[in-house]
Structure 1
C-alpha cells in the first residue's frame, strides 16, 4: 500500500490579505484564517467602515491569538493595491502567502438604468481591482501561493436588475481559470468561491423579490447562508490540503446552484 502524509491543516506563520473585510463574508474569512494562525491584512473603504475593521482587528488579536492590521483604501484608485501590499510587507515581513479578493460593489439597476459611469465603477472594483491586487502581490508571493476570488452565484444564474454585477463576477471567474493555468507551474493555486445568498449588509441591498425566491429554492433548510460557511471553504482553499484543486469556481449555495 502506498503511504502518504496529509499536509498540515494550519496556517501558522502564513500572511494573508483579505480585501473588503470590515463586514459580512470578508469579516468571517479574515477571522477564520486568523484563527488558523495566519497574520491578516484587511482592507476597508471608508470612515464608515472603519469601526467594523477595528472591531475585527480587536477580535483577531484577543480571541484568535493572531495579528492583524487594517488598511483604508479605495479600490477604484489604481494605486491602492500597491499601497495595500506595501503596508502588509511592512507589518509582517517580506512575503505574502494568501490573497483573498473579496471586496465587491453590487449593482442593483435594471438594464435601462445602467449608465457608463455605473458600469465602470462596478467593473473597476469587481474585476480590475482583483487583477491589480494579484499583480502587486505576485513579486512577493511565497510559492506555492494561494489566490482565492470571491465570486457569486449570480455569475451563472440569471436574476433581474443585477446584470452588471453578474457580468463582473462572470469576468472574475474567467480570470480565475486563466490565472490558474498561468501560475500553476510552482504549485500556486487560484480558485473562486461562488456564494449563494448570504446574510450580510450587501444582501440587504438586494431587492426581496430576488432574495426570497432563492430561499424557497434552496434545498438545504430553505434559507440564506451564513458568512462563516463561506469562510470554511476559503480556509480549505488556503491550506496545504487543497494543493490539487485549482481553476475551480466552487458553488456554496446550499444546493441552489447545482451546475
Structure 2
C-alpha cells in the first residue's frame, strides 16, 4: 500500500492526463508519478499481453488513496483514429476536459541499412511521428488552458548510432514537431516540450545492442548508469505543473549528462 499523500503535495489535483504507452517500463513510471501528484490518468496500452500490466497499474494508482484514479484504454497509436478513441474514452471517464498529454508510445528499431525496408519505415514512423501528431490533434479541442503536452524523445535524436538510424530519425522528427506545435498552441497558454531520456531501464532497453548501452553508461557523467523510470518521471511531472509555465518548445535532456544540449 502506498503512503497517503497530503493535499498540499498534490499539485496536479483536479487535472486529467493521458499517457500513451503507459502499461509498462518508463511509461508506467510517468503515469504513476502524475497520479502521485494528484492527476486522474488514462493508461494507454496497445497489446493484449499488456492488459494485465495496465490493470495492475490502475490498482497501484488506486492504492495511493489521494483522490487520483486511473482508467485503461486499449489503442494502437499507429492507427489514424487512435487519438480520437483515446480522447473519447478519457472524457467519458473523467469529464469534459484534458489538462496533460504525454506522448510516450514509441517503437524502437535496430537493423542495418541494407536490411531496412519501406515497410519498416512506415511501421516506425507511423507510431513515432504521426502518432503524437494525431494524438495531440485529438486532445487540443478539449485541452484546458494552460495545457501541458510532453513528447518523449530520445538521445538518439541528437546522436548517431549504427543500426538505429531509422529510430533516431523518427525522434529527431518528434523534436521538430514539438517546436512547431509549441509555436502554434502558445496563444492559448499551452506549452509543448520534449524530454530526451538516455538509456532507461525497460524492456525496450533490452532490445538495444549491449555494446551501445555499455558505451552510453560509461559516457554518462552521473554515476555511469542507466536511468530509472523515476529519473525521467520527475522531469515530466515538473513540466506538467504550473511552475513550468514559461518553458515551451524545448527539448530537455534527461540523460544524466550523456547529452548536454
Same fold (TM over 0.5): yes
Aligned residue for 1:149?
A: 151
Aligned equivalent of 2:234, options 232, 235, 239: 232
Aligned equivalent of 2:86, options 81, 84, 87: 84
1:9 shift after superposition: 6.7
SS at match of 1:210: helix
Contact 2:10 2:38 in 1 (8 A): no
C-alpha distance after superposition, 1:43-100 (max 9, x if no partner)? 1011111111111100001125321001111112111110000000000000000000
SS at match of 1:223: coil
Aligned residue for 1:164?
A: 166
C-alpha distance after superposition, 1:99-122 (max 9, x if no partner)? 000000001111111100111010
Larger deviation, residues 10-19 vs 68-77: 68-77
In 2, Cα distance between equivalents of 1:21 and 1:116 = 28
1:216 shift after superposition: 0.6
Check if 1:179 corresponds to 2:211.
Answer: no
Aligned residue for 2:129?
A: 127
Aligned equivalent of 1:136, options 110, 135, 138: 138
SS at match of 1:63: coil
Aligned residue for 1:4?
A: none
Contact 1:160 1:210 in 2 (8 A): no
In 2, Cα distance between equivalents of 1:168 and 1:18 = 19
Contact 1:31 1:64 in 2 (8 A): no
In 1, Cα distance between equivalents of 2:44 and 2:106 = 12
SS at match of 2:129: helix
> Which TM-score applies when normalising by structure 2?
0.95
SS at match of 2:63: helix
In 1, Cα distance between equivalents of 2:142 and 2:43 = 17
Aligned equivalent of 1:111, options 110, 113, 118: 113
**Structure 2: runs of 5+ lacking an equivalent:** 1-8
SS at match of 1:54: helix
Aligned residue for 1:32?
A: 33
C-alpha distance after superposition, 1:105-142 (max 9, x if no partner)? 00111111110011101000000010000110011110
* Aligned length, in residue pairs: 252
CA RMSD in angstroms, aligned pairs only: 1.0
**Structure 1: runs of 5+ lacking an equivalent:** 1-7
Aligned residue for 2:256?
A: 254
In 1, Cα distance between equivalents of 2:246 and 2:65 = 28
Aligned residue for 1:3?
A: none
Aligned residue for 2:76?
A: 74
> Which TM-score applies when normalising by structure 1?
0.95
Moved >3 Å (runs of 4+): none
In 1, Cα distance between equivalents of 2:205 and 2:140 = 32
Aligned residue for 2:60?
A: 59
